[in-house]
C-alpha cells in the first residue's frame, strides 16, 4: 500500500510538470497575463493560471490514483470548495476582481466545506482555564481562519517561486506533524497533503526564477485555501497547541499579512491598499537580488517549520515560553528590516536605551573605581 502511494505521488508530480506548459499556452490564449506596472517585478507580460496545472494534477491524484484512500463525503465536500476557489482565481486572473468580489468567492468556498465537508472548529480549549463549545461562533471562527490563511498565501505571492516554495515547506511540515501526531483515522489527510506537495514540486521548475509562468490568483488562492482546510482537520477541538502549530508553520505569510495591515493602519490607509513594502520588497530594497530574496524567505520558512516541530514535544509552559521567544525574535527581525516603517522600532529603541543605560552605569563605576 505504501509503495502504491509513493508511486502515485511521483506520478502526480510528473502530471503537474507535463500539464504546466499546456496551461501556460492556454493562459496566453485567454488573456490571463500579468502585465508590468509599478507594483510588479516582471518586465514582460507573464502568463498566470499556473494554479490550474496544480489543481488538475492534484484532482487527478485524489479522484483516480489515490481514490481508495479517502472517505467519499470528505473528498467530494472538499472538491466543491476547490471548484469555487479555482473559479474565483481564474476570473480574477482574467478580469481582475475587486477585493470584495474575491472575498465573496473565498466565503462561498468556506461555507461549502463547512456544511458539506464538515470542516469546522466546534470547541476551544483555553490553557489553564478549560474547554468552551463555540456554538454559533463555530461558523464565523471557521470562516475567519479560512479567509486569513487563504489571503496570507495570496499576499506573499510577489516573486518568482516564492509562494510555491514556501507552501511546499509549510505543507510538508503539516504533513510530517500530522503523520506523527494525528490519529490513525486522519492519515488520509496526510496523503492528501503530500499529493498537493507533489503537484507543487512538479510546477516549481517553471515558476522559480526566472519564471515562465506565475501561480496567479488561481494558484495562490487554491494553495492558501487547501492549507487552511488541511489545518482544520486538526482544529475541530481547538487547543493552544493545535492552533499555534499551523500558525507557526505559516509564519512567513502570516507575518507579512499582519504587519502589512498594521503598516496600513498606522499610515491611515485601507488595509486592502496595495504597496511595495511587503517582506520580499523590503529585502530587495536592502540590496538582495531576486533569487537571494526568495532563498532567504525559504530559509525563514524552514526556521518556522523547525520551531513548529518543537511544540508537540514541549510541555504547556514550554510551549508558552517558546511562543514568547518566537514573538520577540520576530518583532526584532521585523523592526530591523523596517517592515512597518524605518522609523517604527519600539522594541529596538527600548533595547538600545537599556544597553546605553547599562553602559553608562558601567562607565561611571569604572571612573569611580579608577579615582
Binding residues: 154, 217
User: What's the 3-state SS for 25-54?
Assistant: HHHHHHCCEECCCCCCCCCCCEECCHHHHH
Peptide bond connecting 135 to the previous residue in cis, omega within 30 degrees of 0? no
Peptide bond connecting 244 to the previous residue in cis, omega within 30 degrees of 0? no
d(CA 327, CA 80): 37
- CA end-to-end span of the chain, whole Å? 81
C-alpha cell at 328: 520577540
d(CA 274, CA 100): 14
The 10 Å Cβ neighbour count of residue 7 is 11
Binding residues for Mg(2+): 154, 217
Q: Name 232's Cβ contacts closer than 8 Å, sequence gap at least 6.
A: 119, 120, 121, 142, 145, 146
d(CA 82, CA 59): 9
Amino acid at each position: 500500500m505504501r509503495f502504491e502511494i509513493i508511486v502515485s505521488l511521483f506520478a502526480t508530480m510528473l502530471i503537474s510538470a507535463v500539464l504546466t506548459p499546456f496551461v501556460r499556452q492556454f493562459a496566453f490564449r485567454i488573456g490571463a497575463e500579468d502585465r508590468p506596472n509599478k507594483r510588479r517585478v516582471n518586465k514582460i507580460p507573464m502568463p498566470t493560471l499556473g494554479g490550474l496545472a496544480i489543481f488538475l494534477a492534484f484532482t487527478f491524484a485524489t479522484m483516480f490514483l489515490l481514490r481508495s484512500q479517502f472517505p467519499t463525503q470528505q473528498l467530494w465536500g472538499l472538491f466543491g470548495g476547490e471548484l469555487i476557489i479555482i473559479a474565483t482565481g481564474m476570473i480574477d486572473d482574467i478580469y481582475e476582481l475587486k477585493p470584495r468580489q474575491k472575498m465573496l468567492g473565498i466565503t462561498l468556498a468556506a461555507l461549502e466545506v463547512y456544511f458539506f465537508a464538515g470542516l469546522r472548529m466546534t470547541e476551544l480549549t483555553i490553557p489553564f482555564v478549560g474547554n468552551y463549545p463555540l456554538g454559533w461562533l463555530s461558523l464565523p471562527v471557521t470562516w475567519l481562519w479560512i479567509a486569513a490563511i487563504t489571503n496570507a498565501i495570496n499576499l506573499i505571492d510577489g516573486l518568482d517561486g516564492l509562494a510555491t516554495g514556501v507552501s511546499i515547506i509549510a505543507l510538508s511540515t503539516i504533513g510530517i506533524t500530522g503523520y506523527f501526531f494525528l490519529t490513525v483515522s486522519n492519515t488520509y489527510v496526510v496523503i492528501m497533503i503530500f499529493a498537493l506537495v507533489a503537484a507543487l514540486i512538479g510546477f516549481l521548475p517553471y515558476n522559480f526564477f526566472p519564471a515562465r509562468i506565475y501561480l496567479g490568483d488561481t494558484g495562490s488562492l487554491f494553495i492558501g485555501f487547501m492549507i487552511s482546510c488541511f489545518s482544520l482537520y486538526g482544529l475541530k477541538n481547538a487547543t493552544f497547541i493545535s492552533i499555534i502549530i499551523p500558525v507557526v508553520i505559516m509564519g512567513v505569510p502570516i507575518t507579512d499579512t499582519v504587519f502589512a495591515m498594521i503598516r496600513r493602519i498606522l499610515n491611515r490607509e485601507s488595509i486592502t491598499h496595495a504597496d511595495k513594502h511587503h517582506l520580499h520588497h523590503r529585502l530587495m530594497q536592502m540590496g538582495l537580488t531576486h533569487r537571494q530574496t526568495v532563498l532567504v524567505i525559504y530559509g525563514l520558512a524552514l526556521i518556522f517549520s523547525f520551531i513548529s516541530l518543537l511544540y508537540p514535544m514541549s510541555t504547556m509552559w514550554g510551549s508558552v515560553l517558546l511562543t514568547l521567544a518566537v514573538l520577540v525574535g520576530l518583532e526584532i527581525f521585523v523592526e530591523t528590516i523596517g517592515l512597518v516603517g524605518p522609523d517604527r522600532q519600539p522594541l529596538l529603541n527600548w533595547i538600545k536605551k537599556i544597553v546605553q543605560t547599562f553602559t553608562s552605569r558601567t562607565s561611571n563605576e569604572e571612573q569611580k573605581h579608577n579615582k
